Structure 1
C-alpha cells in the first residue's frame, strides 16, 4: 500500500544500521550486549578516561600543594614569598585544569552516550515498525511506548549518571588511597579499617532503597494510568457527574505517591547523613591520631592537613556510587527489556527476491483466495477452506455478522497475517512471494476509523510524501468532495491538525482518507466499514467518489450499511469464516436468505 510506504519513509529510515545486532544476542549480562554499541566509541571512551584522570589529579594535587606550602615554608619559618607565589600559581593552574578537563570529560561522555542511546532508540522504533500484526496483538501499545521512552531514558541515565560516577568516583577513590599511603602508611591503614563498615552500611541500605524506589515508581505509574484513563473517558465522567468521585480517587492515589516519595527522600537523606556522621567520626579519629603524632614530632602538620582533606573527599564518591545503585538496576532491567524487543522476529517476512515476471505497474488486479484457512489462535479457526476469485475491475461487497471473518479476509490480502493453509494470489502470484513494500503500493485500504497525524491537511493527504505535489492533493480533495469542508477551515489546506484529527467529524476524516487513496492510485481498493460512521449527506459524497474511484479498479467493500454495496457486481455473505451466500443485490433479495433478512432489518 503506497500510503503505508510513504509513512514508512517519513517516520524512519528503514535501512539496517551497521551496528545493529542482526541475530539474537548471546550475553551473560545486559551490559555485555551494550558493548556491541560501545565498541565503535572505544577511542572516545579512552579520551573520557584520560580527561577524567587529569581532572581528578588536578583536584587531588591541590591539598598536596598546601602540604608543601605548610611544611616547607610556613612551619619552618622560610619567608620565601616567591615560592608561595609559585605554589599559588600552581594551585590556580590546577583549578583551571580541573575545570577544563571536567568540562571536556562531561561533554564528550554525554555526546557518546547520547549517540548510543539515540541509535538504540532509532533502531528500536525501526524494529517495531517491521513487526507483523500478530506482534501488536500480543503487545500493548503502552508497553511499546515504555520501551521507546522510559527504557531508553533509563539507558540514558546510565551514561549520564552511572557510567560517569564509575569513571570519576571510582578513580577518585583509588587515587585518594594511593595519595594517603604516600603521605603516611599508618594513618592510611587506620582509614582502610572503615571500608568493611562502609560496605555493611551500603549493603543494608541498598535493599531498603530499592524497595522504596520501586514503591514510588509503581505508585506513580498507577496515578499516571488513572489520569490517562479519565482524560480518555472525560465525556463519560462529565455525563454521569463523576467529577467529585474521580477527584477523590485521584487524591487517594496522589496521597499514596506522596507518601512513597517522602519515604524515598527520607531513606536517601538517612543514607547520606549516615555517611556524613561516619565521615566526621573518621576526621575526628584522624585528627586525634595525627595530632598526637604531630605533637610527638612524628608527623608533619602539612601531612595531617592533607590527610584530613583527603578523608573528607574519600566519603563523597562512595556515597555517590552507592546512590547510583537504583539507577544501575533500572538501566539493567531496561536493557534486558529492550533486547527482548530486539529478539522478536516478524511472522511475516519478505521473500529474498521478487517473483520472476512481476511487474508492479501492469497489475490487472485479479485476486484469488485458494482454499485458505486461517486462525489467530490455534484450534480456533476464523476462515475455513474459503475459495473465492475476484476478476480485475470487479466490485465485490462483503457483509456478515461480527466475527464472520470479513476483516480477516482483508488482512490476509494485505498480508498483515499469513494463511495457515491455501494461498492468496494477485494476478496468479502468491502474496507471500511479493515484497511487502510492493504489495502495499498496489493495495489501498480505507478503514472505519481513519488515522490522521499531527500536521497539515496537505501532509495528511499525501502522508508526508514530498513527491506528491500540492496540486495533486487539492485535486484529490476536490474529487471526493472534501474541498468544501477544508476551505471553511481557518488556514484551508495548511490547517494544522492535532493527533487523530480532533476538530474534524468522522465523515470529514473519512473524506481525507479517501483523498489519500486517489492521490496514491492503488490497483486494488479495499474499504473496511468505511461508511459506518458517516451521516447520510457525507455517505452520498463517499458513494459518488467510490463509483468514480472504483472504475477499472478491483474493489472490495466491507459494509454494515447495505446501501453502500447495492450496486456492487457481486455481494458475498460470510458466516463463520465461510461464504454462505453469493450474488447481486437483486439475486440475494430474491433468494430470501440471510442477506434478505439483513436488508429487511436495515430498512
Structure 2
C-alpha cells in the first residue's frame, strides 16, 4: 500500500476525532500531515520566527559594523575614538541580543516540538491498543517498540534540530545574499554561481542518502525485535542451551546494523566534506577577485573583509543543513512508518447504533431487530445464554480452523471443552471474547450478537483466565483490581480469600502491597494463576472462561482452583478448556472437539459409555495406553 493511500485510509477511520488532522488523500505527504499537529502551535512558531530573525540580524550586522570601522574610520585617517567606542558598544549589544534571542528561540521550539511529539506518541500508543489480535499476530513486538520509541524520537529530532536549522540557517542564507549585494553587486553575482552547484550536489546525494537511512532504521527494528523476542523467551533459551546460537544470530543482526551505520556515516562524511572543499575554494576565489579589486583601488578593504566574513558564514548554514540531512531522512522514514501504523484499521470494531429515519415507512427487519436487541441489552440483566450458530472461522484464507460449528449453552451451565491440540478449543473462546470475528454464522449472548455489544461491555461480561497469566509491574492489589480505584481493597481481599490466594499473599513481606516485577517474577506459576483468578472474580463476570487455567498447577493448587470454581460457577455460565480431564469431569456437559468440529458431547459417564474420542482421551490421561 502506498503511504499516501495508507494515510488516507487511516484518516477515514479516524473521522470525528478532533485531535487527528484531516488531509486530502491524493496530495498528502508525511510532512504535510504534520501540519495538523503543528497548527495549534502557530503563534509559538511565529514567536520562534521572530526570535530567529532578531538573532540572525544581530549576527550578520557585526561584520557590517567592522566594515564601517575599517573604511570610515581607521583607513580614512579620522581616528574618531568616540565613533569607535560607539561601534564597539553596538557590537557588544548585538552579541548579547544574539545570545538572548537564540536562547529564547531554542527553548520555544523545544517546547513546541516536545508537545507535538508527546501528542503523536500518545495517539500512536492508543491506536496500537485499539488493534485487533490479528494485527499482533503479524506484527512483532520489537517493531512496535521501535515505532513508539525510536521513530517518535526521530520526530523529536526533526523539530528540535532540522526545523530549527531550516528556520535559522535558511534565513541566514537569505540575509547574507542580501548583504553581499549591498556591499558589491559584481562580487555577489560571482558567488551566486555556487548555488546551482550546491543544488546539484544535494540532488545527487538525496536518493542515495534516503535509501541508506531507511536501511539503517529497518535493521535497527529487526535487532530490537530479536532482542525483545529473546527476553520474552529467555527460559527456553536457557533450558535448551541456545545461548551460543542466539548470540550468533544477534551478532549477525548487530553486524548488519553496524554495516548500515558505517554506510550512513560514510555517506554523511562525503556529503559534508564536499561542501567543505567547495567552501574553501570559494573563499580563495573571493580573496583573489577581491584582492585584485582592492589593489586596483576598485574596492574598499573593509568591503572585502566583510565579504570574506559573509562568504564563510554563507557556507556555515549550508554545512549545518547538510549535517541535519541524515536526521531529516530518518524523520521522513520514521513519519512514514508511524503513519503506516495509523493506517491499520482494527479488524474488530464496535458497531454504531444506526439512527432510525422515522420518515421511512419500511425498515429493514433484521436491522430493526438488531437495534431493538442492542438498545435493550443491559449488563446487569444478562443471564448468560450463549449460542454459536453454525460458525466458521480461519486465521488464513483456505485454512479453516472451525467448520460450521453449532453449539448452544444454557445460562448457568458448566461446560467442559476437550480435544487434541489444534482442535479449535482456544479459537472458539477467542471468538466468544471477540478477539476475532467469525467468517460465517453468529455468536449470541442472550440473543444479542457479540458484534453488536460494545467491546468494553463484552469484556466486562466475559471473564477470561488463561494458561499463562500476565501480571503488571506494581502491587498485588493493583494487579487484581487492574488499577480500577472503584474496586475497594475489601473487595480484592474477599476475592483472594474466595480463591484461596489470601494465605499465599499474607506470607509475603508486604502482603497485598508487595511490588511485583514484570510478569510477576518471584511467584510460582500456581501463585500467579491464583492472582489472575482473583482478578476475574473481583470483576464479577456473567460468563467465566478458564482456558487451560490449571495446566501448570500442582495438585494442591489445582484443588484450590477446583474448590473455588465449584462456588464461583454457581448462577454463572462457565466454560472450562482443559487437558486434565479431572478438571471437567463434574461439568454439566462436556464438548469434544476435533479439527474444528464438535464430534461428541454429553456428561462424563455418557461419553465414557459412548466409547469414542473422549474415552480415548480419558484412557490416555489415566496412563492406559495400548502398546
Give the drift of 1:135.
2.5
Distance in 1 between residues matched to 2:261 and 2:440, nearest whole Å: 56
The residue aligned with 2:541 is 522
Any idea what SS the aligned residue of 1:380 has? Answer: coil
Distance in 2 between residues matched to 1:421 and 1:238, nearest whole Å: 43
Give the drift of 1:202.
3.5
Change (3 A) 1:540 1:245: closer
The residue aligned with 2:435 is 416
Give the drift of 1:601.
0.6
Distance in 2 between residues matched to 1:138 and 1:222, nearest whole Å: 14
Any idea what SS the aligned residue of 2:395 has? Answer: strand
> Is the aligned partner of 1:273 residue 2:273?
yes
In 1, are the aligned partners of 2:466 and 2:548 still within 8 Å (CA)? yes
Distance in 2 between residues matched to 1:221 and 1:139, nearest whole Å: 12
In 2, are the aligned partners of 1:456 and 1:495 still within 8 Å (CA)? yes
> Is the aligned partner of 1:592 residue 2:611?
yes
Any idea what SS the aligned residue of 1:521 has? Answer: coil
The residue aligned with 1:482 is 501
- The worse-fitting range, judged by mean Cα deviation, of 196-205 and 559-568 is 196-205
> Is the aligned partner of 1:327 residue 2:324?
no
Give the drift of 1:252.
6.1
Change (3 A) 1:415 1:238: closer
Change (3 A) 1:375 1:229: closer
Q: How does 1:565-584 map to 2 (within 5 A)?
A: 565-584=584-603
The residue aligned with 2:293 is 293
Give the drift of 1:517.
1.1
Distance in 2 between residues matched to 1:267 and 1:422, nearest whole Å: 57
Give the drift of 1:449.
0.8
Q: How does 1:147-546 map to 2 (within 5 A)?
A: 147-206=147-206, 209-210=209-210, 213=213, 216-217=216-217, 220-221=220-221, 224=224, 227-228=227-228, 231-232=231-232, 234-235=234-235, 238=238, 258=258, 261-353=261-353, 355-546=374-565
In 1, are the aligned partners of 2:165 and 2:321 still within 8 Å (CA)? yes
* Structure with more contact order per residue of length (Cα contacts < 8 Å, sep ≥ 6): 1
What is the number of equivalent residue pairs in this alignment? 590
- The worse-fitting range, judged by mean Cα deviation, of 376-385 and 363-372 is 376-385
Listed one character per residue, the Cα deviations across residues 534-553 of structure 1 (whole Å, up to 9, x for unaligned) are 11111111111111211111
Distance in 2 between residues matched to 1:240 and 1:291, nearest whole Å: 77
Any idea what SS the aligned residue of 1:418 has? Answer: coil
- The worse-fitting range, judged by mean Cα deviation, of 42-51 and 197-206 is 197-206
Give the drift of 1:418.
2.1
Distance in 1 between residues matched to 2:187 and 2:522, nearest whole Å: 74
In structure 2, stretches of 5+ residues that fail to align are 1-13, 354-370, 623-627
Distance in 2 between residues matched to 1:274 and 1:22, nearest whole Å: 41
Any idea what SS the aligned residue of 2:401 has? Answer: strand
The residue aligned with 1:562 is 581
Give the drift of 1:271.
3.5
Give the drift of 1:229.
5.2
Change (3 A) 1:225 1:178: same
Give the drift of 1:223.
5.1
Listed one character per residue, the Cα deviations across residues 308-333 of structure 1 (whole Å, up to 9, x for unaligned) are 11111111111222232332222222
Change (3 A) 1:505 1:513: same
In 1, are the aligned partners of 2:422 and 2:595 still within 8 Å (CA)? yes
Give the drift of 1:397.
0.6
Distance in 2 between residues matched to 1:243 and 1:132, nearest whole Å: 33
Distance in 2 between residues matched to 1:235 and 1:190, nearest whole Å: 69
In 2, are the aligned partners of 1:17 and 1:123 still within 8 Å (CA)? no
Deviant stretches of 4+, over 6 Å? none
Give the drift of 1:520.
0.7
Distance in 2 between residues matched to 1:274 and 1:135, nearest whole Å: 45
In 1, are the aligned partners of 2:383 and 2:411 still within 8 Å (CA)? yes
In 2, are the aligned partners of 1:27 and 1:33 still within 8 Å (CA)? no
In 1, are the aligned partners of 2:142 and 2:226 still within 8 Å (CA)? no
In 2, are the aligned partners of 1:25 and 1:33 still within 8 Å (CA)? no
In 1, are the aligned partners of 2:142 and 2:221 still within 8 Å (CA)? no
Give the drift of 1:559.
0.7
> Is the aligned partner of 1:51 residue 2:51?
yes
Give the drift of 1:483.
2.2
Distance in 1 between residues matched to 2:29 and 2:227, nearest whole Å: 36
In structure 1, stretches of 5+ residues that fail to align are 1-13
The residue aligned with 2:125 is 125
The residue aligned with 1:98 is 98
In 1, are the aligned partners of 2:385 and 2:446 still within 8 Å (CA)? yes
Listed one character per residue, the Cα deviations across residues 410-446 of structure 1 (whole Å, up to 9, x for unaligned) are 1222122222332211112222222221111111111
Any idea what SS the aligned residue of 1:376 has? Answer: coil
Distance in 2 between residues matched to 1:188 and 1:542, nearest whole Å: 86
Change (3 A) 1:261 1:415: closer
The residue aligned with 2:38 is 38
Listed one character per residue, the Cα deviations across residues 284-317 of structure 1 (whole Å, up to 9, x for unaligned) are 2222222222222222221111111111111111
Please report the TM-score for the alignment, with normalisation by the length of structure 1.
Answer: 0.91
Give the drift of 1:79.
2.9
Please report the TM-score for the alignment, with normalisation by the length of structure 2.
Answer: 0.88
Any idea what SS the aligned residue of 1:396 has? Answer: strand
Distance in 2 between residues matched to 1:534 and 1:460, nearest whole Å: 20
Listed one character per residue, the Cα deviations across residues 388-411 of structure 1 (whole Å, up to 9, x for unaligned) are 221121111111112222112212
In 2, are the aligned partners of 1:162 and 1:324 still within 8 Å (CA)? yes
